[in-house]
Structure 1
Amino acid sequence: MPADTLSTSQRESLIDALRSCRSTQERLAFAKDYAQTGREPLWELICDLLISRSISRAVAAHWLKDLIEEGKSS
């Protein structure tokens, strides 16, 4: 589900969850849970949120780095 099709409360909840994950382990655990929902890939949603300036470059960079590194090791 693209970020722009989420309800306001869903979008804010997701942004809060992304911001609250501070460690690689927390981010990867969240990503695993998110993948179970059958929605669009998390990296795509993060990019949409970054483009719309809903999350900071730093938050997006941490997430994308961890997701890419995890993909390499899988």
Structure 2
Amino acid sequence: MRDPEYICEEELQLAIILIIKKAVGIEKEALFTETARLFGWGRNGERVENAILKAFKNLIKRGDVSLNENKVSLGNDG
């Protein structure tokens, strides 16, 4: 298991996209929990949460992911 600071943002983003593809309509909190589990992190501490949040926000900014009423989905190209 690697610490969050040793995971590049692109790797986190790919994990987020993979989870969204497998769990259509997943809620944001569940997405963050599943992303943490995928990397072997048992709980979402501040460092884990911040790393996932940064990757998530950049996916939204690029239009790869959208958030609507706490439900996460892939963007137009997904």
TM-score category (smaller protein): 0.5 to 0.7
Runs (4+) off by over 3 Å: none
* Pair 1:66-2:55 in alignment: yes
Higher strand content, 1 or 2: 2
Instruction: State the match for 1:36 in structure 2.
Output: 21
Structure 1 residue 30, shift from structure 2 partner: 0.6
Give the residue type in structure 1 aligned to 2:51.
Answer: H
User: Unaligned regions of 5+ residues in structure 1, if any?
Assistant: 1-15
Higher helix content, 1 or 2: 1
Structure 1 residue 69, shift from structure 2 partner: 1.5
Identity of aligned residues (%): 12
User: What RMSD, in angstroms, separates the aligned Cα atoms of the two structures?
Assistant: 2.9
* TM-score, reference length from structure 2: 0.51
**Inter-partner Cα distance in structure 2 for 1:54 and 1:32:** 20
Question: How many positions carry a matched residue from both structures?
Answer: 52
User: Unaligned regions of 5+ residues in structure 2, if any?
Assistant: 37-41, 64-78
* TM-score, reference length from structure 1: 0.54
